[in-house]
Structure 1
Amino acid sequence: MNSMWTVMSFTMKNKLRNRAFVITTIVLALLMVVAANVPTFLDKFASGGGPKKIGYAVGEQADIISGLEAYFAGQEEPKAQLVPIEASGTPDEQTAALKQAITDKKIRGYLTFTENEEAGFPNVTYYSKKMLDSGTAEALGTGLREVKTEQAVKEANLTQAQLSKLFDPVQLESVQISDNANGKTAEEQGTAIGLTYVVLILLFMSTMITGQLIATEITAEKSSRVMEIIVTSVSPLKQLFGKVLGTFLVGLLQLVVIVGAAVINLALPQNQASLQSLGIRLDSIEPNMIIFAIVFYLIGFFLYAMLFAAVGSIVSKTEDLGQAVMPITLITLAGFYIAIFSMTHPDSSLVTVCSFIPFFSPFIMFMRIGLANPAWWEVVLSIGILAASVLLLGWLSAKIYRTGVLMYGKRPSVKELIKAMKAYKV
């Protein structure tokens, strides 16, 4: 047992002293800091220049222009500001005057109106040198609809009571039904979607990065013949679990740094406001989601870590490692992509079946827990199958490891590996 802890501590020290590992951790933490503050940065840049100045020819569609001006004046932070441009003469001369206003940077673009007798409201066209951003486009569209509605209401001679009934907003609330709770509100659903995305990405990144680290270190020791010295003092089984546990703790430390950087920045007041505008509130995260995230992360990590260690032990040269681990990489990608692309329909038959397949269940069952409402026995069965698979693969990987670390030359086939395992009686 002491020798296993020695291997584990040596693996941890070796990784923590690795300059590439430290730099990668710092870079990923900085990226998470930037990503967590992106909504705030976008808001600041978007609002920093004030409302977008949009021109129009003086005297054209006065009723619509006055209605738009009243609409934007009633907003706390208007997205657009209408600017009158003196443009008289022929249509070509008017267009030239409006374009000149853009060149002189008086306006960012201008509106033109074309009569549409069938619709009872003119067609509106916005001209500019740059594409209209979505926020301004939405503001213009909403303002024009308001003006059109007001004109239609005036023509219909509606009473004040009828106007109130017409314009009062409809209250629609979305609640996800749950068997063991009162249900999820819209905010809780938005938070669950965000948390599911984050956990799936972190599990995929952690599995791939730490799995590759385990396989690379074992293969490097074999290729440098250091393994021949190690096996004389430490049994292969203790080597396997020592390396896996050591790499797991280092990967966990890296994950804590990255997630900690993100959580600290997301908890800042300005970022909280941005998240709430997206329907996400950190204080509405359900405790059971955190528990399931930890459970599926731990079991999923050890499932793939054992596979990477077993494959790394049968490869003698590091340049052959990429091809050897390709099947594991494809399986991991399959589980990740199925979970991501199934988030819009988490109750489909494919998702339900895949949530019980051990290589996919760390991703897919957690996605179902976050976005659907699986029965408790489904969750327990999925975790049970996954845990049993970890034990089975751990036992099989230990046998492959004990045989593979002593095999050099070309990568052995499955038949050769089984023959060697029988010969070594492992």
Structure 2
Amino acid sequence: MNKMGTIIGFTFKNKVRTKSFLITTLILVLLLSIGMNIPYFIKVFKGEDGSGSAQSPGVHIAVIAENGSRAAQLLQTYAQQSGTGATVVPYASENDPSLKQALSDGKVDGYLTLTEQKGTGLGSVVYHSKDDSSEEQSFLQSALQQVNAQLIAGDRLTPQQIAAMNAPVQLGTEKISADGESAEGKSHSLINYVIVYVLLILFFMSIMMTGNMIAAEVTSEKSSRIMEILITSASPLAQMFGKVIGIFLVGLLQIAIIAAAIAANLMLPHNSGVLQDFNLDLGQLSVSLLVFGIILYILGYFLYALMYAAVGSIVSRTEDLGQAVMPIMMLGFVNFYVPLFSISNANTMLVKVTSYVPFTSPLSMLLRIGVGDVAVWEIILSLLILLATIFGMGWLAAKIYRTGVLMYGKRPSIKELRKAMKAYKI
């Protein structure tokens, strides 16, 4: 056990210090940071970052209307009561020098030209701006609808009645199962879809990268004949499980660094409202998704890591490693792409079947837990099948590793490997 602990510590320290780990992790962190800050960079390049700008946050619109225009007054009143921080300023004409100066200084987003028709509300309405944003569109649509209703109703309705009349009806939804029973509580928030999508990519990359790392480590030691020296100081089983656990810690460290980078970017001042902009609420995040996600990642890692270690032990040259691990990589791609392409509908028969197949269940079951409908007994059954497969794969990988690390030359056939395995008992 002490020897295995030494191997775990040595493997972890050795891999963390390698240039490949450092460069890969740095590139991932940089790409994530750049991607999360692209909207801010665009604003900076456009000069909309707020530094040195006289314009305060919100919508700022000028209205071209005659003095005493009822529509302009109603727009101003609505802007003051809407709580959006919007401002509406009337100007005499489009050629007003103060309007042109306000547009040039960025104090006004654009100007509105409108006409009134007695008894029938607003006539033609045109909004002039350099960059018509969705925020301006949303404000104008709501404001002009209120103004138009007020102009038509005149004094017959109060502003509160008109606001109530124009308020959108809130439509509640309730999911039902196939038998018509209520499925309340099973709806999933948008944040769960985002977390599932991120975890799928993160876990797939981590499992594949660390798995290839294990296979390459074993093959390189075998091809350089270092394995013959190592085999005398520690048993093959201690070496295999020591490498698997050591590189597992490397994968966890990499995931922790990436998670910290995401959290750090979200805490930046210009990203403080990014979750609200996309209607994401961390308070709606399912805790069970994170708990089961960690469990499924650990189990999925050990299943694939043991396969990579076994395959790496029967390859004598690093040049042949890519071809040898290709079947495992294909399984990994199936494990990733089935849930990825089913994220919009996690209750298909394909996802349900793959959530019980041990080689695909880690990510398929993660999808069902996050954004699908899954019973507790289904999760337990899937985990038990996965655990049983890991124990079986551990026994088989130990047999292959024990014999494969000392078999040189061409890659042994299955018949030769079985014959050699019979000579050793695990």
The TM-score, its normalising length taken from structure 1, stands at: 0.74
Give distance in 2, aligned partners of 1:326 and 1:208: 11
Shift of the 376–78 alpha-carbon distance from structure 1 to 2, 3 Å rule, reads same
Structure 1, unmatched stretches of 5+, are 89-93
2:415 paired with 1:418: yes
Q: Quick check: 1:220–1:317 contact (8 Å CA) kept in 2?
A: yes
CA RMSD of aligned residues (A): 4.7
Is residue 138 of structure 1 aligned with residue 138 of structure 2? Answer: yes
Please say if 1:395 is aligned against 2:395: yes
Q: Is the 8 A contact 2:223 2:317 kept in 1?
A: yes
CA–CA distance in structure 2, aligned partners of residues 350 and 152 of structure 1: 57
Structure 2 CA distance for partners of 1:81 and 1:315, relative to 1, 3 Å: farther
1:23-422 aligned within 5 A:
24-25=24-25, 28=28, 49-50=55-56, 51=58, 59=66, 64-78=71-85, 84=91, 86-87=93-94, 109-111=110-112, 122=123, 124-130=125-131, 132-154=132-154, 157-158=156-157, 163=162, 166-167=165-166, 170-171=169-170, 184=185, 189-260=189-260, 262-263=262-263, 275=275, 278=278, 280-282=280-282, 285-408=285-408, 416-422=413-419
- Residue 91 of structure 1 aligns with which residue? none
Conservation of the 8 A alpha-carbon contact between 1:316 and 1:411: yes
CA contact (8 A) 1:214 1:243 kept: yes
The residue type paired with residue 78 of structure 2 is Y
Further displaced range: 392-401 or 374-383 = 392-401
Contact 1:214 1:244 in 2 (8 A): yes
Determine the C-alpha separation between the residues in 1 that align with 2:273 and 2:101.
40
Residue by residue over 1:387-410, the C-alpha shift from the partner in whole angstroms, topping out at 9 and shown as x without a partner, is: 122223323333443444344556
| Maintained 8 Å contact 1:212/1:308 | yes
1:189, distance to aligned residue in structure 2 (A): 2.8
Cα pair distance change 1:251/1:150, threshold 3 Å: same
SS in 2 for 1:231: helix
C-alpha separation between the residues in 1 aligned to 2:263 and 2:275? Answer: 12
Q: Given the superposition, is the C-alpha separation of residues 70 and 223 from structure 1 closer, same or farther in structure 2, using an over 3 Å criterion?
A: farther
Secondary structure of the equivalent of 1:136? Answer: helix
The structural deviation recorded for 1:357 is 2.0
Report SS of the residue matched to 2:346: coil
Structure 1 residues 410, 423: CA separation in 2 closer, same or farther (over 3 Å shift)?
Answer: closer
Distance 1:392 1:268, change over 3 A: same
Counterpart-to-counterpart distance in 1, 2:226 and 2:94: 84
For the 8 Å contact 1:53–1:83, the answer to whether it is kept is no
Shift of 1:2: 3.9
Structure 2 residues without counterparts, runs of 5 or longer: 178-182
Q: Cα deviation per residue 1:4-55 (whole Å; 9 max; x = unaligned)?
A: 3332222112113324424544565576677788899999966775346556
Match of 1:14 in 2: 14
Q: How has the CA–CA distance of structure 1 residues 106 and 194 changed in structure 2, closer, same or farther, with 3 Å as cutoff?
A: closer
For 2:180, the equivalent position in structure 1 comes to: none
Q: Which has the higher contact order (CA 8 A, sep 6+)?
A: 1
Contact preservation (8 Å) 2:114, 2:122: no
Change (3 A) 1:161 1:5: closer
Deviations 1:142-197 (A, max 9, x none): 33333334345449x4578864652456455567799xxx96498x7344334433
Say if 2:62 and 2:91, in contact at 8 Å, map to a contact too. Answer: yes
What one-letter code is carried by the residue in structure 1 that aligns with 2:165? L
Q: Give SS of 2:189's match.
A: helix
Query: Hey, what's the Cα distance between the residues in 1 that align with 2:360 and 2:146?
Result: 50
Kept after mapping to 1: 8 A contact 2:211/2:308: yes
Amino acid at match of 1:73: Q
Matched letter for residue 74 of structure 1: Q
CA separation of 1:361/1:424 partners in 2, compared to 1, >3 Å: closer, same or farther?
closer
Deviation at 1:244, TM superposition (A): 0.5
* Compared CA separation, residues 312 and 271, structure 1 to 2 (3 A): same
